[in-house]
Structure 1
């Protein structure tokens, strides 16, 4: 049966309260990487998310099975291995797809470097004095960072303490030469890397067999959850907007009962819409836009302005950002040059 995220989190926490692997049940609430593959991970165990009556939910059986499996997982804290953290590399030095692939060892190193940088910023030291701040010190941490500082900084940000629904910092130890973690735990995270990569690759496939971008640009949120559709398939499965909400207020009940993702984006006419664009001055619906066009509108993409708020003289005009800037400048110049007795015309 479907259960709420809140109940799923509480249930999972109860089931795993004595687990030997430190877990973060709250990932069931904020659902990291939901768009990429539609699951929440605890180690290598994936719990599927469902869109039920416009709310994200879980199947109680899935939550119970995951909780029981992790409660039964035995981790010998004395059987440890060298985790061999890689050297840190900036994002521009990496292939974008490689950077976003799951890699828990790289993530641990990134945390350390990020907090070493944060410490230097907090100390208000000029960049010229940072020196070789990425150099690893005798305690295994870069930039003069102490273990106490690393733990304290990490506690301030959830995404810098959680890998696959687990908390590795609670198990991490330095032996004077290298970082150590329990063998069973490292094997669990290795299996997670493989499993998450498989789910992402599966989720990238459109029904026609075309493979989408790794970051999920073809992923669309529908009534039943995220699906992958290439632009041609998206065009076949959605309809063109014909202006039937012309003159309807954005907050009106009639608009709320019509889903934007039933229509193609009014601008690019390639992707399913994600939201209803509306005039912020008059409040009337202008049309459905996909997420990309909704954020790019007015920043260089030609777009159609149309609002039925001007009942006496409705107008439609295709303009670009430079043209918009020129129109605004012309209006300002005309206003400043006009007599004080009345507004400028034109």
Structure 2
């Protein structure tokens, strides 16, 4: 017996057109920009469901070949989206990188939002057409209108990078993870899958049979409990099925989004934890060149508001923990941001004195030759037109200053560090196979 698709005022089924209007109305005041054609103008063929935020909403075929969705599920998805708090200045980079991430291909995994956005923006005139709402690109993903929140940054008038608010990145990652679980359940037969609805809400191939899908399966993410402690990334990353295993954990940093990558120390080669894309990009140093870092706003979170969490995360690497230090780019950023804070000049502003320009730190040599390694902290883009060097700090001095600061700031982390806390660590840094799949990853 077919289900009746009602115009929608109760808790039954509503047509896709009505669901579109309901979604747009319920999310009109959301901090996340949404699309008014989230269900009837899908960016990809859907098989028995649509994505609304981080929720899968099943489609149900009714009389006359029309397709509908449960109204209560649309309202739940809208409520979840409205609860998302978004900072317009807290951005995560989404591309372009040196190459596409090498992920295991899962047939039927359709969102792949990073690849879709990058493909549109890399087309000639792509960013401009996206801003004007032109072209045939996927201008909404999981009901979210990403083009209204995209931030483009240009360096040296040639290199473009694209950014989205970090809350949106996490939301889209969660949608991709939820879709993966749905498709896995569908292939195992625990979810009845209907035929995909067409652009106008008509069935493509009903076959004279009506099928109903239950609520989306939402298997909880497993917390990470150190299962990969002591593993070497270069060996672990080659194991079959590791990407799927990582996706089953919650991000070990934020604890809310599904993990997507294995964060690891590029100096010692050890795996730290599974993390989501958002936390991975937040932790990544803002490289200008291979030995040159701009100390951006996200270092406030790393070294101020969430210091203990990030220090504990970095010290999951046995090498960094035993030597009571950080990887060289992170240590350089810490030296500029914390150790040299008192040296940074300020200027008068409308709301008091404002720090001068933009901090930048570079280095010569490497941590493997600490006697010859020198960190140089400078200020760029000074409002008075000056470009000044604030300090030159030898690597050993910077490492010693960090040890003192660590003991004062995160005593629990400092208590677990030191050469006497770990037996059997190699005297020399474990050789590491460079990961060149993404820009700037080889040094953190």
User: What TM-score does the superposition give when structure 2 sets the normalisation length?
Assistant: 0.36
User: What TM-score does the superposition give when structure 1 sets the normalisation length?
Assistant: 0.45
| Structure with larger Rg | 1
